[in-house]
Amino acid sequence: MYSARQQYQQQAVQTSSPEKLIDKLYSAGIQACHQEDRNRLRDVLLELVKALDMESGGELAERLQAIYEFCINESATGDLDMIRELLEELREGWREGVLDTQPA
């Protein structure tokens, strides 16, 4: 049985645009770093990799893939603060470059 919070979160994901879902993934990854939850962080990073459109994304998609793969490798035993900082910068760039340019 879902709690009210889980139901709200599930509905928020189901009704969000793909662009907003990427923002949510960045936030989930940052939260996982704060909580030192390496398994959750890895899951989030794998979802970010799967979300990349390598055909139309070109060089940007390739660079993001390299960053995500670096973070996946580091998440096993590396510095979570560094990964958190990278994800925060990527989230900010995503918000400025994608979310802020969309109509309300």
Compute the average pLDDT of residues 22-27. Answer: 95
CATH number of the domain to which 67 belongs: 1.20.120.340
Question: Residue 14: pLDDT above 90?
Answer: no
Evaluate whether residue 62 is within a structural domain: yes
* Model pLDDT for residues 44-57, shown as the tens digit of each residue: 999 999 999 999 99
pLDDT digits (tens, 9 = 90+) for 88-99: 999 999 999 887
Q: How many structural domains does the chain have?
A: 1
Judge whether 44 lies within some domain: yes
Asked if residue 37 has pLDDT above 60, the reply is yes
B/e letters for 4-41, b = 16+ CB within 10 Å, e = fewer, are eeeeeeeeeeeeeeeeeebbbbbebbbebbeeebbebb
- Domain membership of residue 97 (yes or no) is yes
